[in-house]
Structure 1
Amino acid sequence: MSAGYSAGQESARQRKLALAHDRAAAEARAAAGRYGAAAVSERRVADGLSRLAGRGYHLLPDRQWPGSRRAQVDLVVVGPGGVFIVDTKWWKDFQVVLGRCFRDQEDVTDDVLRLADLAFGAEAALATVGLAPGEVRPIMVMADRTGIHHSISTVDIVGEGDILRHISRRGTRLTPAQVDAVLAATMLHFPALGSGLQTDSVTAQVPEPVLDSQDFDAPLLDEDEVDSALLEAALAQPIEHWMSFLHPDQAKLVRRSFNGPARIRGSAGTGKTVVGLHRAAYLARSRPGKVLVTTYVRTLPVVLRANFARLAPELVDRVEFSGVHQFARRILDERGIEIRLDPEKAKDAFATAWSTVGRGGPLASLDSNSTYWSEEIEYVIKGRGLSTFDQYAECARPGRRRRLTLDQRREVWRLFVAYTDNLRRLGVADFPDLILFAAASLRKQPLTGYSSVIVEEAQDLSCAMIGMLYSLVGPETDGFTLIGDGQQSIYPGGYTLSEVGLSLQGRGVVMDVNYRNTAQIVDFAQSMVLGDEFTDIEGMQQRADRPTTVTRNGEVPSVVRSTSETIEDETIVSRIRALISRPDVSLGDIGVLTLTTWHVRAVLSALKAARIPTIELEKYDGSFVDAVKVGTVKRAKGLEFKQVLLPRLKSHHLPGAGRHISATQSESTRERAERERRELYVAMTRARDGLWVGVVGTPAPVDRPRPLSR
């Protein structure tokens, strides 16, 4: 090979190298410009959000991505609205189509989901200080854009011009002290850059292609728009602090995963309902399908839905709140299965059956009160969906004190058959039929679409109800959660989970710290049920769970005696007026609870005459209303009030009274007395700060309540 050829080849090689270097230099200069633009846009987002500092927010820019040596987090914002992880993107031709994110033709959904994973990890870390899941909000900001609002998984995608208002709309969810605790934990979880992080970590996060270069000094919001956004934040309706900030154990429980059906139990005031609401939101965020939250009390789901809408407004279409009977009715309606519910005719059907089969027979000699036997049919026979006498003959009947011989059970079955025949003759059904029809339909044609079912006040449901609900999700991980307390069971009869074929082994949690009531209210209420036993839904005979810790102290409950209901009504009015004179109590903070519906009507009439605004619990939907709430104890289940008035009691209702049952009283009478004491226990534990008990009638000696050991 000649020297000239060799030189020519080398010259060509050098020219190619030069061209390659030129291209690399040009690319490097262009990249530097892009990185600079990205840095400016990130800085501008931070500058725009700096206006929140006067509202108690803290901005943490350029934090280290946990677990990574190269990646960084553009900005973390901590304040009254929660925690916000902000990632700024300088993307061109961005769009969201069918739940996927595209930049030009490239699918960049994985970039969005990485941000969701980052927030998920932060939730776990911040749960150690009590921040509830869902209060960590990942936000992807499109630089130099406005009018963008999308959601992919848990990530909100907004324009740069929308970010201030987007954060402001969260309102006040944390107190200043809670913000401080969360801020300290956030700074530990997202450390400042410099701990071995590569200096080019920002550049690694900048994608292609980018927007054309623009004037990045021009803000997207003018001063009036900024002021409007901040005013919106100030006017955003704050929610109760406990909704967003829990005890760390509660926050961890919300996120806990169970590899099958699970149960959360604990005495009144331990926060079971709060945990249930947060768990519904957590499950809705973290898995596909809808979450069903259901319970026995018809009016409670309406209130829970309103609380949930304030807690997680973005998830209201992912979580369904429904009473168990309403749910069954919807299933039948959607499937074209006709069932004619008529409670009055159902009562007539039973009355006729009792007159022909029960009255004058063996059952009447055992208990002449036909209500006991109608309860036996509703809760024991139909509540389990028993279809043969042999099934009933072998039924354990937990919760029913009176033991029945085989012959006595045959008489009950005769009464049941007569009642059933009367229903058919009248062409009507009762409420247990509604459940049984729906359950049968679901066995034939299973319903899909639900990923999780949460049952509030699970102890009040029937065996058939639990079976119907369990069929929606089966033994899937985190599919079925029961929440309740056997001590608060206020309906006759009962069931055990083994009857449904459910085992909770290793998947039960007991909450034992009372956050709601004062120690004085807990002592008073516990003395109502002291020594009473009940059969829990897990099949164990046990006594009331006592909270190991009560976190608050307050006034000793008041017991006021009146010689007539008229005098008591005057005392109730005086009590309410005295309460609302306090700076921390409004009419809407007061609940007047009674054992019967006619007592509700009497109280409503007395308060109306005194011109005190009221609302019946039957009509209460969870929205704020400046009116005293009046209703039965059953309607108050799952609710709480700062102050509770419990009028129209008798001397034997008080703690320590009437506990020595005479030998002549029947087992069914004892059962009713125990159930009534549990009902009063429920009523008293609805009170957060103060409890007033009204007794009408001649005074009787009452034992002093024994203090709760703590």
Structure 2
Amino acid sequence: MPKLGIDKDFLRDFGKLERSVQDRVAEVFAKFEQATHAGLHLEKPNNARDPRFRTIRIDKFWRGVVLAPETGDSFTLLKVLPHDDAYTWAERRRASVNTATGRIEIRDGVAIDATLPELARMADQAPRRLFDDTADADLRRLGIDEQTLAFARVLTDVIQLEAAKVFLPQNQWDVLYGLAAGMTPEEVWAELGVAPRREPYDAEDIAAAVERTPERVVLVEGPDELMEVFRHPFALWKIYLHPAQHRVAHAAFNGSARVTGGPGTGKTVVALHRAHHLAGLGAGPVLVTTFTSTLSASLEAGLRLLADSAQVRDSIEVRHVDQLSYQIFAERHGRAAILRDKEEKDIWRRVIKRLDVPFTETFLAEEWRHVVLAQEVTSAAGYLEAKREGRGRGLGSRQKAQVWQAVWEFEEELRRRRVWTYETICVEATRLLGERADKPYQHIVVDEAQDLHPVQWRLLRAAVPEGPDDLFIAGDTHQRIYNSRVSLREIGIRVAGRSARLTINYRTTAEILAWSLGMLHGERIDDMDGGLDTVAGYRSQVHGRPPELRGLRVQKDELDALAHKVRQWLDAGVDPGEIGIAARSNMLADAALAALARAGIPARSLAKASDADGVVRAGTMHRMKGLEFRCVAVIGVTEHQVPASSAVTPAEEDPVTCAQDLQRERCLVFVACTRAREQLYVSWHGTASPFLSGFTI
């Protein structure tokens, strides 16, 4: 029975075809077994550089290009193009096996040959060449073949290499780009994600190479699987792994492990594949968790696409941490009354008034959450000895006694009312898990880990037995958008020696990434394990337009300009569902929706719409977390709105907390800007935010 693979990049192309063509492609390849068995419809182009390329008729206008093995029955669909374009594409290209990685490669040999003479002429006149300091032996060891080696040797500028991305074999281009970026051959090899071999791979075994390239080829068995792929082309395109990601997702660890990386480096995709891999081992139930319901829903949708059997699907649970803690709590205590934010502030105010202590309700609430609960303090003596790192306001013994009395009164009021906060439910759920010999999960995968509070981490630690592959943690502290800070070591989660860092951004253009990173320049950001994180080495291999910055006089002008910008994107062919608008407040996001409605542009709130709705979406910067769009407008980046005054502790009250709040607000804008894949538009009215001070394009 023939096996059919679908090239990952064709999934993106398929999503852009007209529906009638999509239906015809699905119909033809659903009957592919009969076509190949009978030898019908597969035609060999007359002038093809690679004798294994075939074309197949879709209709009178469209043809598919298929890679067919010289022996065996493994076929790969590479392209669907208009008739003449399909033949031209097939005639120019050649498939090969990378002898270092064993993966399938496709190259445009005509383009390489045509470009080489002019590059050689320029190289003869240049004082240096791009890879003068790299030996041929190192390049060959990294999978560079003779044609690409000859090409690399005449390069004099990285710009030439970037232009060659469209026709060089992808794996080999990645190697050259990494070396050009200053990586050592050993560092480049690590990013290839393959184990070293004594013998090179068989350069002629195309079928085996396809099997070894899951990050590029989707293998399907039968028409049902094929139809499922065609129903979700864009989603599947986004969940396939780069080799470096694949290595992390499928590794075996003798304890907890962590993957870090900047925005767009694929941490969430790695987390999804990690959960799928662990569930496939059959060792026990796997929990996939994060900090909000919106993100957990997104993770669940991704896992539905990945799960290839009912057994794997049934082995994975997806729920956010508060949902998990409430479930464990409710099993023992039943339903709980949750204290609302306003009610909590009212209690703190009454405690302050009753005790006549010199603290604000904000200070006491933060001290309770980030010292008392975070360090499991249960007594006055314990509070006197507690570390208060990150709490800028120093407290003497008398003041600590006053704070502890206020905390005791607050907690006593919760007990008297029989009400709970999300944190206290989590603490109680952790206690209950500690009493159990059996743990509910064998493995836990955590996404967006940087935003979890210490009490939530203790819950997760208590929910899985310590052992191999117990906790897998994905996060980036540069994208922390809430107050929580933690040292994993101090709560019993050890990841030393089992951490991987992803550095290649697959979503955002180099121009958008570099500009957005500038917003965090000079910030000292912790790594959740007692050290500092870094953005050194983060890079994007995709280039595009620089961000567009625009200041307007008043808010109405800014909203009118936003509507005009969105109209420009739509007129340029951008799908409405690929446009996102981020604002610091719900009020401004609603104003943006109203401005778009006045301009006749269909738009909905991020809270009420999804990818499938096909409309422009607007929401808060917090709501943008975990999403991506072709084009993003970040609006209202205005003095007094960004940073939001209500989110920043006054410096005179606590200078350290003030600095942390400002850093968090910077990270929030950074997150919003890096949701953009291709175009970023940033606007303000009146005076620009201080975060934009000194920025240039």
Return the TM-score normalized by structure 2. 0.66
- 1:373-388 map, 5 Å: 373-388=364-379
Q: Could you say if the C-alpha distance between residues 390 and 523 of structure 1 is closer, same or farther in structure 2, counting changes exceeding 3 Å?
A: farther
Amino acid at match of 2:351: T
Shift of 1:286: 2.6
Q: Could you say if the C-alpha distance between residues 560 and 337 of structure 1 is closer, same or farther in structure 2, counting changes exceeding 3 Å?
A: same
1:250 to 207, 225, 245: 245
Shift of 1:244: 5.2
Q: Could you say if the C-alpha distance between residues 626 and 704 of structure 1 is closer, same or farther in structure 2, counting changes exceeding 3 Å?
A: same
2:530 to 539, 543, 547: 539
In the alignment, which residue of structure 2 is the partner of 1:671?
A: 660
In the alignment, which residue of structure 1 is the partner of 2:562?
A: 572
2:489 to 498, 511, 514: 498
Shift of 1:48: 6.9
In the alignment, which residue of structure 1 is the partner of 2:635?
A: 647
Contact 1:559 1:692 in 2 (8 A): yes
Contact 2:642 2:665 in 1 (8 A): no
1:489 to 463, 480, 503: 480
Query: In 2, distance between residues paired with 1:662 and 1:372?
Result: 10
Shift of 1:664: 6.4
* Deviation by residue 1:373-432 (Cα, 9 ceiling, x = unmatched): 323323432344432233333333454444444443333322222221222233211111
Contact 2:579 2:616 in 1 (8 A): yes
Query: In 1, distance between residues paired with 2:663 and 2:41?
Result: 59
* Deviation by residue 1:147-206 (Cα, 9 ceiling, x = unmatched): xxxxxxxxxxxxxxxxxxxxxxxxxxxx9999999x9989267499xxxxxxxxxxxxxx
Contact 2:229 2:236 in 1 (8 A): no
1:283 counterpart = 2:314:
no
- 1:296-375 map, 5 Å: 296-312=291-307, 314=309, 315-333=312-330, 335-344=331-340, 347-357=342-352, 361=356, 363-364=358-359, 368=360, 370-375=361-366
Q: Could you say if the C-alpha distance between residues 593 and 234 of structure 1 is closer, same or farther in structure 2, counting changes exceeding 3 Å?
A: closer
Give the 3-state SS of the residue equivalent to 1:264 in structure 2: strand
Contact 1:357 1:418 in 2 (8 A): no
Give the 3-state SS of the residue equivalent to 2:420 in structure 1: coil
In the alignment, which residue of structure 1 is the partner of 2:205?
A: 187
Contact 1:641 1:687 in 2 (8 A): yes
In the alignment, which residue of structure 1 is the partner of 2:681?
A: 692
Q: Could you say if the C-alpha distance between residues 190 and 560 of structure 1 is closer, same or farther in structure 2, counting changes exceeding 3 Å?
A: closer
Contact 2:605 2:618 in 1 (8 A): yes
1:562 counterpart = 2:571:
no
1:550 counterpart = 2:568:
no
2:621 to 614, 633, 643: 633
Amino acid at match of 1:332: F
Query: In 1, distance between residues paired with 2:303 and 2:204?
Result: 25
Give ranges in structure 1 of 5+ residues lacking alignment: 1-42, 64-74, 82-121, 132-174, 193-225, 656-660
Give the 3-state SS of the residue equivalent to 1:283 in structure 2: helix
Shift of 1:625: 2.1
Query: In 1, distance between residues paired with 2:393 and 2:204?
Result: 58
Query: In 1, distance between residues paired with 2:674 and 2:407?
Result: 37
Query: In 1, distance between residues paired with 2:239 and 2:550?
Result: 38
Shift of 1:318: 2.9
Shift of 1:130: 10
In the alignment, which residue of structure 2 is the partner of 1:98?
A: none
Return the TM-score normalized by structure 1. 0.65
Shift of 1:507: 0.4
Query: In 1, distance between residues paired with 2:105 and 2:373?
Result: 43
Shift of 1:57: 4.6
Give the 3-state SS of the residue equivalent to 1:635 in structure 2: coil
Query: In 2, distance between residues paired with 1:674 and 1:180?
Result: 37
Give the 3-state SS of the residue equivalent to 1:354 in structure 2: helix
Contact 1:527 1:706 in 2 (8 A): no
Amino acid at match of 2:587: W
Identity, in percent, stands at: 27
Contact 2:481 2:667 in 1 (8 A): yes
Give the 3-state SS of the residue equivalent to 1:352 in structure 2: helix
Give the 3-state SS of the residue equivalent to 1:516 in structure 2: coil
Shift of 1:553: 1.6
Contact 1:380 1:397 in 2 (8 A): yes
Shift of 1:328: 1.5
Shift of 1:558: 1.7
Contact 1:528 1:654 in 2 (8 A): no
Q: Could you say if the C-alpha distance between residues 234 and 249 of structure 1 is closer, same or farther in structure 2, counting changes exceeding 3 Å?
A: closer
Give the 3-state SS of the residue equivalent to 1:453 in structure 2: strand
Give the 3-state SS of the residue equivalent to 1:409 in structure 2: helix
Q: Could you say if the C-alpha distance between residues 595 and 663 of structure 1 is closer, same or farther in structure 2, counting changes exceeding 3 Å?
A: closer
1:683 counterpart = 2:680:
no
Amino acid at match of 2:673: M
Moved more, 323-332 or 558-567: 558-567
Contact 2:102 2:209 in 1 (8 A): no
Q: Could you say if the C-alpha distance between residues 571 and 268 of structure 1 is closer, same or farther in structure 2, counting changes exceeding 3 Å?
A: same
Query: In 2, distance between residues paired with 1:77 and 1:627?
Result: 37
Q: Could you say if the C-alpha distance between residues 506 and 431 of structure 1 is closer, same or farther in structure 2, counting changes exceeding 3 Å?
A: same
Contact 2:105 2:171 in 1 (8 A): no
Contact 2:510 2:542 in 1 (8 A): yes
Q: Could you say if the C-alpha distance between residues 612 and 316 of structure 1 is closer, same or farther in structure 2, counting changes exceeding 3 Å?
A: farther
Contact 1:349 1:422 in 2 (8 A): no
Amino acid at match of 1:674: Q
In the alignment, which residue of structure 1 is the partner of 2:259?
A: 264
Contact 2:375 2:386 in 1 (8 A): no
Amino acid at match of 1:337: H
Shift of 1:264: 0.5
Amino acid at match of 2:337: L
Q: Could you say if the C-alpha distance between residues 663 and 492 of structure 1 is closer, same or farther in structure 2, counting changes exceeding 3 Å?
A: closer
Q: Could you say if the C-alpha distance between residues 548 and 569 of structure 1 is closer, same or farther in structure 2, counting changes exceeding 3 Å?
A: closer
- 1:544-623 map, 5 Å: 544-583=534-573, 585-620=574-609, 623=611
- 1:440-455 map, 5 Å: 440-448=431-439, 450-455=441-446
Moved more, 542-551 or 680-689: 542-551
Contact 1:293 1:454 in 2 (8 A): yes
Shift of 1:663: 8.6
Contact 1:653 1:677 in 2 (8 A): no
Q: CA RMSD in A?
A: 4.0
Contact 1:129 1:248 in 2 (8 A): no
Shift of 1:359: 9.1
- 1:216-235 map, 5 Å: 232=227
Contact 2:439 2:462 in 1 (8 A): no
Shift of 1:531: 0.9
Query: In 1, distance between residues paired with 2:252 and 2:633?
Result: 40
Amino acid at match of 2:528: I
In the alignment, which residue of structure 2 is the partner of 1:7?
A: none
Shift of 1:693: 1.4
Contact 1:532 1:543 in 2 (8 A): no
Give the structure with higher Rg (CA): 1
In the alignment, which residue of structure 2 is the partner of 1:201?
A: none
In the alignment, which residue of structure 2 is the partner of 1:214?
A: none
In the alignment, which residue of structure 1 is the partner of 2:129?
A: none
Shift of 1:299: 0.9
Q: State how many pairs are aligned.
A: 522
Shift of 1:342: 2.8
Give the 3-state SS of the residue equivalent to 1:552 in structure 2: coil
